[in-house]
A and B are shown apart, each in its own frame.
Chain A
Amino acid sequence: MSEKDVLLSIENLVVEYSSDSETVHAVNDVSLQINKGQTLGLVGETGAGKTTIAKAIMRILPDPPARVTGGKIIMDDEDLLELKEDRMQKIRGNRISMIFQDPMTALNPTIVVGKQIMEAIALHEKVSSREACKKAEEMLEKVGIPKERYSDYPHQFSGGMKQRVIIAIALACNPELLLADEPTTALDVTIQAQVLDMMNELKQELGTSVLMITHDLGIVAETCDCVAVIYAGEIVEYGTAEEIFDHPLHPYTTGLFGSLPNMAKEGGRLKPIDGMMPDPTDLPEGCKFAPRCHYATEKCRQGRPELRNMGGSHVVRCTQR
């Protein structure tokens, strides 16, 4: 990939949640690049730090307790982490926007949905409030909700419809980057497909780059160009979707695939990954996956393995490969 295609690059990001008694190391030295027009999948277990990365990009981490203690997030040669709050407000919802996990709680229950979409437009585009209203109605239609429902309240919508409204809010100002934080986790499978299709269409139409955060490898296969696998706040494997799906290298990635039911293989048992994620307040030295890894040797437990290039864009953080 050439340099000019990079939209946003995260360099050595470190995020910690600290309380009086302990420090949770949520994101440890993560570097990622999101290319223009592409979808990057961020895959990992609950608690791996996926949402924290997205919120760090938006700078909406709850502070306290969360604190970005190191790294840079570069967009257009500027470090977003250094920007003043009022500059950042002009970027949020406008150039970068976010879709949240739980549509049930992500909309304000006392404001009509149309107004919640209109708010984003009125903030970032120099239009009269009537034009903003009209644009909000168009957005509703675009996500498949009749514009007559502009003045309905969130409780009058189903979960899938609410998620559509949230997507409409996120896409209202044609963002360059969309952070989709498990956008379909809270939805029925049938609705999931609809929402993903719709996101794909809108992405094509608007040319938006997407950071797709998920733990669902099916969604990754369907939507992503590149995949980053994250474990205990660290990128353990990165590559194009083909590289990752055809030749998963890191034992954790293979473990994730082993945890998927496979209809093609008859009678095969699932191979879940043994054990639990390490306690993020007390991460193991060396490879963080070593305690759960069948291939782990003494070497793995000493010193953190570096990311090694395996050809193409495929990189893996494992001493054994």
Chain B
Amino acid sequence: MFKFLVKRILWLIPVVLGVSVLIFTIMCFTPGDPARNALGADASQESIDEFNEKHGLNDPYLVRLGSFLKSTFPEFDLGTSYINGSSVSEQILSRLSYTLRITYIGILISIALGIPAGIIAATNQNTWKDSLSMVVSLFCASMPSFWFALLLVMFFALRLGWLPTVGVKSWTGYILPCVSIGIGGAASIARQTRSSMLEVIRQDYVTTAKAKGQSRSRIIWGHCLRNALIPVLTAIGGQMAVLVGSSLVCETIFSIPGIGSYLVTGVNQRDYPVVLGCVVILSLIFSLTMLCVDLMYAVVDPRFRNILKS
């Protein structure tokens, strides 16, 4: 177990390093002028040259990559923003909690809606309940989260006035963003739960449980669910990736001061340190979450525990 953890944590290093190099390279070869963005369209040529010199933007690619990796990894210094000179690390730290809250509440909503919906669909296979939940989940899965977010705002905030349109001054502000990013995941998880549940219901050990005289509901919850969850966990892991992506857009739509909106502003303004800092942190969060998902396998499936031990 301990060995597995250490091994997995060591694996984070090449993953985060690889992501950083990739993003740095992409940013390097993307058109756009950070100096113009930072100084404004009417800045003089001298001040632009001075800006590029100061931030090392005139250096060759490999030199810049080297100095970026050196400052980021051994020193954990993500640099300062080109635009306002604020420390990227400080900004990210103060924004981190918003992003974590939104993505994790989002994934909890996905799980809380998706798994029961999948179970209901599977246990009522080929009835109206099954068809209804599958049609709804197909609809939700194929809908982009930003569009759903806008619909929610229109209806619940503007038409009914129940919830704030933007901002997270109180907990009510979290409802719409979390629901809008969670709903797509809920749909995918529901479909995966349904199919793996149907698979499990046909297994011999379910017949054994029935032959013991166990009731149908106890069989579903006590015998089927845990076995059906194993492939669902994989789906949840995949949804985490999608969710981190949709949280970027949702933070912008709902003006939430999280890492996502910071990253989007950074990209728009060609603010390289901000973009790189955000991506490094997001890839770290994502990798750690996937590690947790993998550990969940061991909780659900005893066969996996042996793999951990060896």
Contact = CB atoms under 8 A, between A and B. Distances in A.
A301 interface: no
Contacts of A108: 205, 208-209, 223, 227
A99 to B, nearest CB: 9
A155 interface: yes
Contact of A92 (B204, B211, B227): B211
A91 B212 CA distance: 9
Contact of A105 (B203, B213, B301): B203
Given A89-B213, A93-B212, A124-B213, A105 B303 contact: no
A201 to B, nearest CB: 22
Among B207, B208, B212, B306, chain A packs the most CB atoms within 10 A around the CB of: B212
B226 to A, nearest CB: 5
A128 interface: no
A93 B302 contact: no
B215 interface: yes
B301 A110 contact: yes
A123 B208 contact: no
B212 A169 contact: yes
Contact of A100 (B204, B214, B303, B306): B204
A93 B207 contact: no
B212 A105 contact: no
B303 A123 contact: no
Contacts of B202: 62
Interface residues of B, number: 21
A93 B205 contact: no
Given A111-B223, A153-B302, A106 B208 contact: yes
Interface string B167-204: 00000000000000000000000000000000000111
Contacts of B108: none
A92 B212 contact: yes
Interface in A88-139: 89-94, 97-98, 100, 102, 105-112, 116, 119-120, 123-124
Given A105-B203, A109-B227, A120-B213, A169 B208 contact: yes
Contacts of A62: 202
B8 interface: no
A58 interface: yes
A83 interface: no
Contacts of A112: 302
A105 B302 contact: no
Contact of B213 (A93, A102, A109, A110): A93
A155 B214 contact: no
A260 interface: no
Contacts of B214: 89, 93, 119, 123
B210 interface: yes
B291 interface: no
A169 B204 CA distance: 14
Contact of A153 (B204, B208, B209, B303): B303
B302 A60 contact: no
B interface secondary structure, majority: helix
B212 A120 contact: yes
B227 A110 contact: yes
Interface in A64-102: 86, 89-94, 97-98, 100, 102
B302 A109 contact: yes
A166 interface: yes
A106 B213 contact: no
A119 B139 CA distance: 41
B307 to A, nearest CB: 11
B83 interface: no
Contacts of B306: 155
B211 A60 contact: yes
Contacts of A97: 211-212
B262 to A, nearest CB: 42
Nearest to B303: A155
Contact of A107 (B208, B210, B226, B303): B208
A93 to B, nearest CB: 4
Contacts of B208: 100, 106-108, 116, 166, 169
A110 B300 contact: yes
Contact of B204 (A93, A94, A102, A111): A102
Interface string A234-260: 000000000000000000000000000
B215 to A, nearest CB: 6
A92 B203 CA distance: 18
28 contacts: A60-B210, A60-B211, A86-B215, A89-B213, A92-B210, A97-B211, A97-B212, A100-B208, A105-B204, A105-B205, A106-B205, A107-B205, A107-B208, A108-B205, A109-B302, A110-B227, A110-B301, A111-B223, A112-B302, A116-B208, A119-B209, A119-B212, A120-B212, A123-B214, A155-B302, A155-B306, A166-B208, A170-B211
Interface of B: 202-205, 207-215, 223, 226-227, 300-303, 306
Given A86-B215, A106-B204, A123-B212, 15 more contacts: A60-B210, A60-B211, A89-B213, A92-B213, A100-B204, A102-B204, A105-B204, A107-B208, A108-B205, A109-B301, A123-B213, A124-B213, A153-B302, A155-B306, A166-B208
